Amino acid sequence: MNKYILTLFLVTSVFISCNNEDDSFDPNAKRLPPVITAPINFADPNLNQQGVDLYNRLTNLTQKGIAFGQQQPFGTGNNFPVLNKLENDFFEVAGDHPAIAGFDLELIGLQPDIQSNTAFLLDEFINQFTAAIIKAHENGSIITISWHHVNPNGFGTPNDGSFNDVVKGFLKGGEFREVYIKRLARAARLLNKLVDANGNSIPVLFRPWHEMNGDFFFWGEGFRTTEEYIQLWRDTVQILSEDFNVHNLLYVYSPNFVANRSEYLRNYPGDEFVDILGIDIYDFQNRKFLSTALRNLEIVENISIEKNMLFALTETGLTNVVDNTWWTESLYKAIRASSISYVMIWRNDMTSFFHAPFLGHPSENNFKEFLDKEVILLSKDIL
């Protein structure tokens, strides 16, 4: 009898623990995004008309649904590094381009300086990079760009000391200040070349210094002070806009998932330096994704309402999509009632690292079912 009771207790405990994720999900919750008005001043006081139009466009799209996107949606794929150009995994499965197309400026930090004898190599890189962005723009995708800065202190790890005080070194008077300024100059050269066929500037959702509350980037917690991070963000906005005349950027602040409101706002550089709020939440296969996502999106939504700002799930995904129903049973449940403007999954590189299913993947049909949800918007839905 005791064994039976123990067995029943264990089975019941397992059953309950396996369903904890759904305990936080309300199937009756309705998506009722508040009406957000454009700010009197953007982070860049001289934001161009295309940037203003993008903000207003996102405001209107938020009332319609959630723009869905992917990082590097073409040029890579499950057969990377053999480039498959526009015949990418996302388009092959979805039959449409993502509403949001993500890019990253990491490699700009490894290019020659503008004044160097090999500056032509920088221009070659910029031409290739901008061509991909312009094509994504022509496909109907909204462009977002992050920046995984290369550590000027070497290719070390968080534990070997090479991350310490790099941010301090980027600030005025610091040992890496010149490196930082030259990187911004290269980035500005690239960003100012983002022009469409009609000569109009292509606006960008720019997401620098993201996931700053983690301990895996040199700008993360433990390697700099909060004040240093805030100054770095403000310097980035001011130098790009004032010194290098980059006026096509909406600045997106996006921590990694947080425990509470205070953690989210700990490194916040101020309303006058941020245009859109974001958060990055991945599924780490610990059965906590849904509850974590619901809680975090609620935290950010409350802040966004107070600040009259748009907000987004700026990065998410389940690496290699090992759950064949993840799209409808995890991601959709997490976002269906949220007022986020957009959500973006991470990239596909190869068969051992991807975040969207390729043709023949077991989650392909579930992915299509997710994309067919009325609230999920692809490029054709946002024209």
Q: Is 228 a catalytic site residue?
A: no
Q: For 365-376, b where at least 16 C-beta lie within 10 A, e where not — what string?
A: ebbeebbebeeb
Q: Is 124 a catalytic site residue?
A: no
Rg (CA), the chain: 21
Q: For 105-120, b where at least 16 C-beta lie within 10 A, e where not — what string?
A: beebbebbeeeeeeee
Rounded to whole angstroms, what are the CA distances from 6 to 9, 12, 18, 91, 259? 5, 10, 18, 52, 35
Helices (H), 19-156: 20-23, 49-64, 89-94, 119-138
Q: How far is Cα of residue 253 from the mean position of the Cα atoms in its chain?
A: 9
Helices (H), 239-323: 261-265, 289-307
Rounded Cα gap, residues 256 and 135, in angstroms: 30
Q: How far is Cα of residue 296 from the mean position of the Cα atoms in its chain?
A: 15
Rounded Cα gap, residues 371 and 369, in angstroms: 5
Backbone dihedral angles phi then psi of residue 209, each to the nearest 5 degrees: 50, 45
Give the active site residue among 21, 211, 228, 301: 211
Cis amide linkage into residue 81, ω under 30° from 0: yes
Q: What is the DSSP letter of 37?
A: P
Give the active site residue among 21, 221, 301, 315: 315
Output the six-digit token pair for 376: 């999920």
Rounded Cα gap, residues 321 and 317, in angstroms: 8
Rounded Cα gap, residues 182 and 112, in angstroms: 10
CA 218, 300, 100, 368: dihedral to nearest 10 degrees? 120
Beta strand residue intervals within the chain, DSSP E: 66-71, 100-104, 142-147, 204-208, 249-253, 276-282, 310-317, 342-345, 376-377
Judge whether 359 and 95 are in contact, CB under 8 Å: no
Rounded Cα gap, residues 231 and 174, in angstroms: 13
Residues labelled catalytic: 211, 315
